[in-house]
Amino acid sequence: MNKCSVGLLVLFVLTSVLVNAQKKSSKYEVGAAIGAFIYQGDLTPQRLGSYKTIRPGVMLQGTRIISSNYAIRLNFSLASLRGDDAKYSTPAYRQYRNFNFKTPLIELSPQMMWSPSGWQEQGQRISPYVFAGVGLSYLRVRRDASGFDPSKFGLEENLPSRIAHDFNRRTPTILPVIPVGAGLRYAITPSLMLNGEINYRHTFSDYVDGFSIAANPKQKDHYYSLSVGLIYRFGKKNSWDCPPVRN
């Protein structure tokens, strides 16, 4: 093997190592976000949830890119939820029923993510994505029916007995959830992205707010979040303004 062949072989090996190193160094991301957590259940007449009792929250994320379009993310949320009948004057019975609840919320969920445009932000400013997963939330529900006015309700409704039934039921402490959602990423630089997303949590419990039989036992309680944050991708990447290749 002559010197030219050896040189070409060394150049090929070095190029392969550098390319693979760059690919490996760009597969991991971390992120942080702030958001609004919205309860959706029996203590609000609004179909989209209780916007009058929005609670703040923070989210931390770690992501592993597994292909050009797919990634796995571990999401950690620290927030709270709240609902209050008295916040709504219509229908009028809510002012007299006057149920309310609050709970801290700690959530951990692994999620699968898919982006139709891929995860390589180089040269591409905006990237949409969708995700779904499973998770567990820790709750400590504090429910309150002390403001209930029985004189405003008929005997046929039997609300005192139904309230007693609910208070004899334990509220969930560990709550399984199914998070699904979508978002947009805006690449500020090849390594730093701004993102916004909506994350809806489907639950299997009607006692997230502490009430079921005394309210609406036909529907489960849910919650979701709207957030904005920053994502950092590890590893060096070339600039978007790559110099032209010259022969």
Judge whether 21 lies within some domain: no
Judge whether 14 lies within some domain: no
% pLDDT > 90, the chain: 75
Q: Is the pLDDT of residue 11 over 80?
A: no
75, 222, 133, 131: CA torsion to nearest 10: -80
Measured CA to CA in angstroms, residue 187 lies from 27, 66, 123, 127 at distances of 16, 19, 9, 8
Judge whether 18 lies within some domain: no
**If we measure between CA atoms, which residue out of 160, 163, 162 comes closest to residue 150?**
160
Per-residue model confidence (pLDDT) at position 154: 87
Judge whether 4 lies within some domain: no
Judge whether 1 lies within some domain: no
Q: Is the pLDDT of residue 199 over 70?
A: yes
Q: Is the pLDDT of residue 6 over 90?
A: no
Within 10 angstroms of residue 92's Cβ, the number of other Cβ atoms is 10
% pLDDT > 70, the chain: 83
Higher pLDDT, 7 or 33: 33
Whole-model pTM: value is 0.84
What is the domain extent for residue 139? 26-233
Per-residue model confidence (pLDDT) at position 214: 95
Judge whether 129 lies within some domain: yes
Total tally of structural domains belonging to the chain: 1
Local confidence band at 122 (pLDDT 50, 70, 90 cut-offs): low
Within 10 angstroms of residue 97's Cβ, the number of other Cβ atoms is 25
Q: What is the CATH number of the domain that holds 84?
A: 2.40.160.20
Judge whether 8 lies within some domain: no
Q: Can you spell out the DSSP letters for 213-229?
A: TTS-TTS--EEEEEEEE
Judge whether 20 lies within some domain: no
In the chain, what is the straight-line distance between the N-terminal and C-terminal CA atoms, in Å? 26
Per-residue model confidence (pLDDT) at position 117: 87
**H or E element in which residue 13 lies:** helix 3-25
